[in-house]
Amino acid sequence: MPKQLKDRYLFVYILVVLAMIFWGSTFVWTKSVLSVYQPITIITLRLLISSVLLFAVMFFTRNWQKIQRIDYKYLLLVSFFSPFIYFLGETYGIKNSSSTVSSVIISTIPVFTAVFSTLIYKERLSKLNLLGMLISFIGVILVITNKDFSISLSVNGFLWLALAVASSVGYVIILRKISVKYKPVTIVAYQNSIGFVFFLPLFFIFDYKSFTSASPTTDAWLNIFLLAIFGSSLAFIFYTIGNRDIGVAKTGFLTNLIPIFTAITAFFLLDERLTLINIFGVLLTVFGVAISQKKSNRIAQAR
């Protein structure tokens, strides 16, 4: 592999891992804000801030792209799956489960993504890739296992998180159709602004009264801005780059890292404890992810 291509390959992996760090932290940031605001309020605010920020960046950097009419339907579908359906499932799931458990349910996305990307886009996965995925998934389970080998999860929380998983698979499959035509910042800016429009009626119907009566704190607003900048903007941009350059399935495998970063962040910020079993699960997950990325296809040539 030429050095230039190899360096580009490494750079893309770094960006995707950063996306996983940001998304891993969002579970903790969201948990903190839920003590002040309702889920729909949190989502609406983070999408509003993210949309304003990204369109401002495109305007001042003169990095504007016009969306072709034929792609409107794909952009609407992408926005419907994520942020609309995904954020509903994720946020209400976090509300009914711990941060770490929520992130583990979300980490099952690669399994379903790999199946559908193989069927639709014919992305080839070696036996080593599949073995790595299995090992990392076992590690993920250990990350959220209690000392008595039990796992705490409510049915309500599971159903919301399962909805998030299903919508995420739809998102990454449709995303591939437009990620090769538009810049990542363009896609994320439009999907978040459309998502904001989707959420606005729900905000006024369900959350407006509680929003106006809430007592906002500096910490809550700081976490909302962190969610908007890192969770709704940079993470999606970096993930879109990975989706385009190293493929849907292999980018999806890296989401198994999310529970690790969630567990570490929750340990420091929410005082959620890590046992020896959890630590072993972290190491096993990292090992599995490393194996799942072996013999990857070359990065697609820049378009």
Q: What is the pLDDT of residues 251-284, one digit of tens each?
A: 877 877 887 888 888 888 877 767 788 788 778 8
Quick one: how far is CA 269 from the chain centroid? 20
Decide: pTM greater than 0.85: no
Q: Where are the domains of the chain?
A: 3-292
Mean pLDDT by 10 residues, the chain (303 residues): 80 94 92 93 97 95 91 95 92 81 73 72 71 79 70 77 90 87 94 97 96 94 97 94 83 79 84 77 76 53 37
